[in-house]
Structure 1
Amino acid sequence: MTGPLSTILGFGLFGVFCLALTEKILPVPPSHAMLLFLGMTAAPNGPTLAILLMVTTLASTTGCLVWYAVGRRIGFDRVDRLVERFGKYVFLRHATYRRLGQAYRRNHLRVSLLAQFIPTVRNYLPIAAGALCLPALPFTTATLLGATLWNAGFLTTGYLMRGSGRDSFTVGLRIIVIVVALETAFMLALRYGPAWRRRIKLVLG
């Protein structure tokens, strides 16, 4: 293993923490690819896998809290204008952001948990939580639980692939393709679902 990732991981758990934190601030590489990679290459045994889960989950939650603090600092109106102007550059449509923000108002615990399983949203929706001044402790608890489940799934999959005897790269690539397809379907449903429901109602009268 060579390249920037090997350099980062050469710093041990601190490098893993920095890698997971960076992914939360700017989702490059995608979290599922990074976690599969860590599970395959940096977890020689079960105890190490558990430590990786703890470190990456802590980093993911810390990254969410960074965005939460940003949202709380700059306020709802400015966040809304920033998403409207720049959201498209990070694949976050303004309409999607507003719908999720409305959902946050109705049930912030459930949305904070589910947000950890949605692409792009899992990185930037904490800004809305801060801008709406949602309680920090429930937000942190729900985010921690969601990040734990998300990270555990991919880390464990990568770890099991390590000793499976199969071509890890091919299997990992297939998993990433499936996850991306599911995420894309979810985002399309979120984007076009209301419009489709309105059209069906019009057709059915």
Structure 2
Amino acid sequence: MTGPLSAILGFGLFGVFCLAFTEKILPIPPSHVLLLFLGMTAAPDDGTLAILLGVTTLASTTGCLVWYTVGRRIGIDRADRLVERFGRYVFLRPETYRKLGQAYRRNHVRVSLLAQFIPTVRNYLPIAAGALCLPALPFVVATVAGATLWNAGFLLTGYALHGSGQSPLAVGFRIIAIVLALETAFMLALRYGPACWRRIRPMLG
């Protein structure tokens, strides 16, 4: 294992924390690729894998709290303008941000949890949570739960592939395709689900 990642991982768990935290601020490389890489290369046994999960979840939550604090400080109007201006540079579609921001008002705990399963949105939607002044404790609890599930899935996949000879990057691209499909399904459900339920509910009653 060579290159910048190996140099950072040379600092042990602190290096792992820095990588996972930095990915929350600027998602390069994407979290699924990073977590697969860590699972394949930095977890020689089950105990180390559990520690990696704890460290990466802590780092992910800390990164979300950074963006939550930014949102609290700048307010909803400036947060919306920030996403409108710069969202495209980090692959965050403003319309996606707006729809999930509206959903936050209806059920912020559920959206905080589900947001952790959508690439890029999981990084920057905490800005909306802070800008809307949503309660910090439920936000943190939902974020920890979502980040734990997300991180565990990719760390375990990488750990299972350890020694298989497969490239983390190649596996990562396949995972990206699956995650994008799930993201599309989630956004369609968010957009059309309530209307469909309103039509179906009278027939069920």
Letter in 2 for 1:44: P
- Change beyond 3 A, Cα 1:194–1:147: closer
Q: Is 2:167 the partner of 1:177?
A: no
Match of 1:59 in 2: 59
Return the offset for 1:175.
3.8
Q: Is 2:71 the partner of 1:74?
A: no
Q: Secondary structure at the match of 1:168?
A: coil
**Aligned residue pairs, count:** 192
RMSD: 1.9
Match of 1:168 in 2: 166
- Segment of structure 1 superposing worse, 179-188 or 99-108: 179-188
Partner Cα distance (2:60, 2:6) in 1: 20
Would you say the 8 A contact 1:96–1:191 is kept in 2? no
- Segment of structure 1 superposing worse, 186-195 or 45-54: 186-195
Would you say the 8 A contact 1:71–1:126 is kept in 2? yes
Partner Cα distance (1:91, 1:98) in 2: 14
Would you say the 8 A contact 1:75–1:132 is kept in 2? yes
Partner Cα distance (1:141, 1:82) in 2: 26
Q: Secondary structure at the match of 1:134?
A: coil
Partner Cα distance (2:33, 2:54) in 1: 18
Partner Cα distance (2:107, 2:62) in 1: 22
TM-score by length of 1: 0.87
5+ residue gaps, structure 2: 196-205
Partner Cα distance (1:9, 1:29) in 2: 15
Would you say the 8 A contact 1:61–1:147 is kept in 2? yes
Match of 1:127 in 2: 127
Match of 2:42 in 1: 42
Match of 1:30 in 2: 30
Q: Percent identity?
A: 74
TM-score by length of 2: 0.87
